[in-house]
Amino acid sequence: MCDAKLRESSLLCKTRSRGNVRTEHANQAGRYGLAVKPITLEGIDGYAEAHSTPPPPYLAAVAEETRASFADAEMLVGTLEGRFLELLVYVSRARSVLELGTFTGYSALAMASALPADGRLVTCEVNRERAQLAQRHFDASPFADRIELHVGPAGKTIRTLTGPFDLVFIDADKGSYVDYYEAALPLLSERGVIAADNTLWSGEVVGDGNSTSAVAIRAFNQHVLDDPRVVCVMLTIRDGITLIRKA
Ligand SMILES: C[S@@+](CC[C@H](N)C(=O)[O-])C[C@H]1O[C@@H](n2cnc3c(N)ncnc32)[C@H](O)[C@@H]1O
């Protein structure tokens, strides 16, 4: 059974009963592969996206090519969250960013664009084909010299990195979120922030959804909440994004 509030306020239950909510919504995706099933009232995400500054041409190009080449283009953070991440780097004056889960490079480029000229963004991707596409778009962008792409399992790569990082964006395989968080925390700068994506998992975390990823994300959310070393806030932007800082 779905949670009563969700049933009243969204199409979540109806959509879920027809199959995979994330894939189904992706089939109706907007211009830039805006993506997973919205967790807000119908139309709100679209309105928010329409009233946020549109992506620059190099990001639109990543989104267009991703949608044309990959069936799972819904994994892109997309226009709204991409702009949010760019502003997060901007307001925090981050100089160093670590990303786990590059995909085709959209979020990496969005964050890199707000770094100072001598800033650094390290991003990790396990899939070679995705990484190659991302690298091509990095090279074509004005920010190639700020971005370092590591191809391989993020859990392995992170052990080779030295911090501090002002922002760590966790967006790779959901089952490893707790491990990524534990590995990232010691690399975080004094006023650094960890941003974890998809922490509402299309709303499944609220109901009794028991997909592998929903269970993993629920466990991650509880792990962070119970951790006295940090302070966190979960935002209902797109698929949920949790911001975490040291206490
Ligand atoms: C949700 S996508 C990332 C989306 C990206 N941040 C963006 O906005 O365009 C997750 C990515 O993590 C990658 N991934 C999955 N497991 C991984 C691992 N163990 N190490 C590194 N990357 C991994 C997947 O191949 C996929 O491209």
What is the pLDDT tens value at each position of the chain, 247 positions in all?
333 333 333 333 323 332 344 444 443 334 334 456 667 777 888 999 999 999 999 999 999 999 999 999 999 999 999 999 999 999 999 999 999 999 999 999 999 999 999 999 999 999 999 999 999 999 999 999 999 999 999 999 999 999 999 999 999 999 999 999 999 999 999 999 999 999 999 999 998 888 999 999 999 999 999 999 999 999 999 999 999 999 9
Ligand 1 mean position to 69 CA, how many Å?
16
* Residue of the CA atom closest to atom 1 of ligand 1: 75
Residue 215: count of CB within 10 angstroms of its CB: 16
Q: Which residue lies with its CA nearest to atom 7 of ligand 1? A: 76
Q: How far is the CA of 86 from the centre of ligand 1 (A)?
A: 19
Rounded to two decimals, the pTM is: 0.88
Quick one: pLDDT at residue 40? 74
Q: What is the pLDDT of residue 36?
A: 65
Closest CA to 119 of 153, 142, 100: 142
Q: Detail the DSSP E strand segments found in 88-171.
A: 96-100, 120-125, 147-151, 165-170
Query: Among candidates 51, 27, 50, which has minimal Cα distance to 37?
Result: 27
Q: Which atom of ligand 1 is nearest to the CA of 105?
A: 9
Domain count, the chain: 1
Ligand 1 nearest atom to the CA of residue 127, by list position = 25
Domain of 20 in residue numbering reads as: 4-246
The answer to whether residues 120 and 146 touch, using CB atoms and an 8 Å cutoff, is: yes
Residues with CB under 6 A from ligand 1: 75-77, 101, 103-104, 106-107, 124-127, 130, 153-154, 171-173
CATH of the domain at 144: 3.40.50.150
- pLDDT at 42 (0 to 100): 76
Give the span between the Cα atoms of 65 and 234, in whole angstroms. 31
Centre of ligand 1 from the C-alpha of residue 174, in Å: 9
Nearest residue to 171 (alpha-carbon basis) of 235, 117, 233, 102: 102
